[in-house]
Chains A and B, each alone.
Chain A
Amino acid sequence: MKEKQTRRLIGELRSSVDEIDKLLASGKADLTVDFSACTFISVEGLEWLEEMLMRAASLQANVSFVNMPPPIYKVFKVAHIDSILQASGSPPPASTGAAAC
């Protein structure tokens, strides 16, 4: 059983976060990323999140994103990256034949 660790992102996410990268690399912990204090995500920030999730998957570490303010969660929705949506607990988009009206 891995230990559970939570890290809170504060302010603008514009690049990688070393502390999280190191924690993941240690392979010891499952990680919860708390976005409640995150005010902005840049393209580089998004790219890092995706890449970090990829590393986590190969290390079989669980990463989940919590407490996203709606503007941040909307960035995830529009960016439409499966791994990020999954970590956010967002269901994959429905592919049902919904009726247009």
Chain B
Amino acid sequence: MVGTIKDQDVALSERVNNLVRRARLAAAVFTQYSQEQVDAIVRAMTIAAIDAAQKLALAAHEETRMGLVEDKMLKNLVASEFHYHQIKDKRTVGIIKEFPEDNMVEVAEPVGVILALAPVTNPTSTVIFKSMAAAKTRNSIIFSPHLMAADSSNMTAKILYEAALAAGAPKDFITWVEKSPRLRRETELMMVHPEVDLIFATGGTQMVKAAYSSGKPAIGVGSGNTPVYVHKTAQIASAAMDIIISKTFDNGTECPSEQTLIIDSAIAEPLLEQFKKLGCYVCNLEEVEKVADVAIDPRKGGMNYKLVGQPADTIAAQAGLKVPKGTKVLLCPLQGNLRSHRLAVEKLMPVLGFVTVDSEQEGINRALDINYAGGTGHTAGIFADDDGVIERFSDAINAGRVIVNCPTSIGGLGGVYNNLNTTLVFGCGTGGGNITTDNVGIKNLINYKRVPKRSNFSLTFQTTKNIYINPGSIDNLRNLKTKSAFIVTSASAGRRGHLSAVLERLPGDCRVDVFSGVGVEPDFSTIQKALQQMRQTQPDTVIALGGGSVLDAAKIIRLFYDYPNLRIQEVALNFLDFRHRLAVFPTKMSTQLVAIPTTSGTGSEVTPFAVFKDHETHRKVSLIDECLLPDVAILDANLTKSLPREVTLDTAFDALTHALESLVSTFASDYTDGLALEAMRLIFEALPEVLKNGSSVLWRHKLHNAACLAGMAIGNASVGINHALAHSLGAHYDIAHGRANSVFLLTTLDYNKRIPSKFMSVSSYPLWVADQKYARAAQFLNLVPAQGASNVAVSSNLLSDEQRQAHIKALERAVYDLAEAVGQPKSIAELGIKQEDFAKALPELVRAAFEDMALRTNPRCPLIKEVESLFVHAYPPRQRP
């Protein structure tokens, strides 16, 4: 005996291996098929299924003794004709979808070998549906029929397979498990077979559970328990007819069919009358108990499987009820606590529960009771002529299909009463333990290969529209179109005579108000003070007169004046990429902003940046957006003549840092490169001259222009790691911005010139070229002898490695020499920061620097450890490179 069982096991496992292997070869061969070949195969299968629809319905009914032949035939036609209509033009081979705006396409990959279960309730239509879906998606499919419906299921598979084969399908792409007492065991073995790729389960919860437990990808469905709310606005007569159509469809075997009606009491009586008139029987409470006794299996509390798909007459007879012959549906009032009523479960037979309710709230809540009693995620229905109720119902109910004003069973199949995808597989989402709430179909049988092409960020160039650049250009204020101006400035503007210079030139009819409370590092409270003052005079123009801090403050003041509801926490939020950032800035400003810089440094008059200090956290906060750009910039070098030496130096070194950083930025372009190079050249030339003779308007003018050009460069290419380090150090020790920048310049040049230990992952920066850029700067600044005999400088990317290194060294020396010559600090130690103090502050300095937005455009992606060593490197006094 033992030997026999073993032999049987071997034979079984051989059968399984053989089936799966055949399916696998077919799946392999199917990968070569074109869309046209596949479509021809599916068409041939459809024709065969339509031809055989009645024959298969008869076979299914004869074998299972469930349901109605007429309805089974209809289902066969829905699975073939409707299904075909829905999928025939769908692409399932090669590129199946294009997303031109996203520069991406989707390419189909078959899922491979599908193990498909077919239920006893729909043994033929499910097989028609699934085999057509498999063919359309170039998968092979092995059917495991229900033991009680194996003959009709397998007959269906065979008919469709033969039609497909004649149309050129791969041999064995449809196979089936033969009927045998070990069918169930065979299916279980296949579920865990390594060569099965996907389990497509429909059927008893146990099989679906087994599919999900197999460890393989599985498409399963949950069980249903459809509540249908008949709202008082419903069309009573047609609602009654629809419900009867649905509940009697295939004698109630369809799992989306109505299980319990929730009826508004206002229409309960006429609705029940209508049911009676149309041939339904409304049970009394005693009869309800009798029906429950036979319809419900007392051991499990679920439906009695022996009565699934049986006509109402049969059920009534078994329950001992006398009902008129040909009764369509047994309607059972569910009295007492609905949540514990025996009949408040799924009954795949013409037994329909109902309750009446007095309000919409109660209606939806009772529907939820049914919905959450074994049918979560499946199907629900509503009859109403009120979109509000329908929306609130859909919002509350957890169902993959909320069928409106139609029979839920045929409505759920899709395509007959509505435009839902045709299916015989109802996904129930997580509510039913499934991965999808779809009306499952071909789209669930494809592996989608997304092919995104690199999207290059389109670089633009923006700057302030009107820039007046001559010494004396402040005179242009005379022509300024303004009736009411608000001047934002600092106390020193008055002392240096700048304020009066502005006031004298504003048009005579212009009302003027002055806010001179902007200090060295304004915080948000300063901005709020200015706004308060400003709102009293309602100006049309803001004139920013001063250094970088004043200009930045004025930008923020104008922004919040125009848009008082913006939230500073949001607009100042850090971001990785401004195309994806959270903050939404306005696109149009109504108040004019005129920027008159009195230092030659930040270039704020032409940048979309504004920085203020958060005194609480000791941090600089940056706002970045095009809308911050001033409308007018007036660069009058006369206003810089009285600038103290130290401020001149610090601000000039800020501008030099801007030029050096924007040149190598990941956002650099030919436009910003030109500006950065010329800015550098002007600074190297003009700064020493200005320091020799501070009142020389010519050199002041050149320096002023340099700062503005560098501002345009960073306004579009942004800065880099030098600024991140300087922001951190400056905020911690209250060091002027330009001065803080100077001490890192040689450190960051040295850092960025080396092949990055980590590259920047930025789509618009496909190639690391920082070293070439520095070499080009050296060439442009004439720091190295011209290459070659012709005396024409060769392109920096044609330089040998040695030449390039020599060029970069020349640039480093030039920076060192300039700082040395003018007495600008080149190291942190020179700022008077004690070593001990610095060592203690280091972790916090590193943390703040690493958070700085400036890092995002640096050509080398800094590691935290590197940031730390850059600080350490910048501390000791320097030697000439």
Are A and B associated in one complex? Answer: yes
A interface list, Cβ under 8 A from B: 40-44, 46-47, 71, 74-80
Q: Establish whether residues A42 and B31, one from each chain, have CB atoms under 8 Å apart when the complex forms.
A: no
Q: Establish whether residues A75 and B171, one from each chain, have CB atoms under 8 Å apart when the complex forms.
A: no
B window 519-542: CB within 8 A of A: none
A41 contacts across to B, CB distance below 8 A = 29, 32
Can you report 17 residue pairs joining A to B where beta carbons are below 8 Å apart? Answer: A43-B25, A43-B170, A46-B25, A46-B29, A47-B25, A71-B31, A71-B32, A75-B29, A75-B31, A75-B32, A76-B28, A78-B31, A79-B25, A79-B29, A80-B24, A80-B28, A80-B195
B interface list, Cβ under 8 A from A: 22, 24-29, 31-32, 112, 170-172, 195
Closest 10 CB pairs of A and B: A79-B28, A78-B28, A43-B171, A75-B28, A43-B25, A43-B29, A46-B25, A43-B170, A79-B25, A71-B32
A80 contacts across to B, CB distance below 8 A = 24, 28, 195
CB within 8 Å for A78 and B24 given contacts A40-B32, A42-B170, A71-B31 = yes
Bound Cα distance from A40 to B32, whole angstroms: 7
A84 to chain B, nearest CB (A): 10
Bound Cα distance from A47 to B26, whole angstroms: 11
B165 to chain A, nearest CB (A): 11
CB within 8 Å for A43 and B31 given contacts A78-B112, A80-B195 = no
Interface centre among A76, A77, A79 (most CB of B within 10 A): A79
Interface centre among A41, A43, A74, A76 (most CB of B within 10 A): A43
B447 to chain A, nearest CB (A): 12
Bound Cα distance from A80 to B112, whole angstroms: 12
Q: A43-B170, A75-B28 are in contact. List 4 more A-B contacts (CB 8 A).
A: A41-B29, A78-B24, A79-B29, A80-B195
A71 contacts across to B, CB distance below 8 A = 31-32
B122 to chain A, nearest CB (A): 30
B172 contacts across to A, CB distance below 8 A = 43
B22 contacts across to A, CB distance below 8 A = 43
A42 contacts across to B, CB distance below 8 A = 29, 170-171
B86 to chain A, nearest CB (A): 28
B182 to chain A, nearest CB (A): 26
Bound Cα distance from A75 to B32, whole angstroms: 8
B25 to chain A, nearest CB (A): 5
Bound Cα distance from A95 to B24, whole angstroms: 20
B24 contacts across to A, CB distance below 8 A = 78-80
Bound Cα distance from A85 to B22, whole angstroms: 17
CB within 8 Å for A46 and B28 given contacts A78-B112, A80-B195 = yes
Bound Cα distance from A46 to B27, whole angstroms: 12
A44 contacts across to B, CB distance below 8 A = 171
Q: Establish whether residues A43 and B26, one from each chain, have CB atoms under 8 Å apart when the complex forms.
A: yes
A78 contacts across to B, CB distance below 8 A = 24, 27-28, 31, 112
A19 to chain B, nearest CB (A): 23
Bound Cα distance from A79 to B32, whole angstroms: 12
A79 contacts across to B, CB distance below 8 A = 24-25, 28-29
B195 contacts across to A, CB distance below 8 A = 80
A76 to chain B, nearest CB (A): 8
B31 contacts across to A, CB distance below 8 A = 71, 74-75, 78
B135 to chain A, nearest CB (A): 15
A77 contacts across to B, CB distance below 8 A = 28
B28 contacts across to A, CB distance below 8 A = 46, 74-80
A46 to chain B, nearest CB (A): 5
Bound Cα distance from A41 to B112, whole angstroms: 17
Closest to B30 in A: A78
Bound Cα distance from A77 to B24, whole angstroms: 11
Bound Cα distance from A75 to B31, whole angstroms: 7
Closest to A74 in B: B31
A75 contacts across to B, CB distance below 8 A = 28-29, 31-32
B374 to chain A, nearest CB (A): 33
Bound Cα distance from A42 to B26, whole angstroms: 8
Bound Cα distance from A55 to B209, whole angstroms: 44
A40 to chain B, nearest CB (A): 6
Bound Cα distance from A75 to B170, whole angstroms: 12
Bound Cα distance from A76 to B172, whole angstroms: 17
Bound Cα distance from A77 to B171, whole angstroms: 18
A52 to chain B, nearest CB (A): 15
Bound Cα distance from A44 to B171, whole angstroms: 8
Closest to A72 in B: B32
B25 contacts across to A, CB distance below 8 A = 43, 46-47, 79
Bound Cα distance from A78 to B171, whole angstroms: 15
Bound Cα distance from A71 to B170, whole angstroms: 16
A74 contacts across to B, CB distance below 8 A = 28, 31
Closest to A76 in B: B28
A97 to chain B, nearest CB (A): 15
Interface centre among B25, B32, B170 (most CB of A within 10 A): B25
Bound Cα distance from A46 to B24, whole angstroms: 11
Bound Cα distance from A41 to B172, whole angstroms: 14
Bound Cα distance from A36 to B31, whole angstroms: 18
A75 to chain B, nearest CB (A): 5
Closest to A42 in B: B29
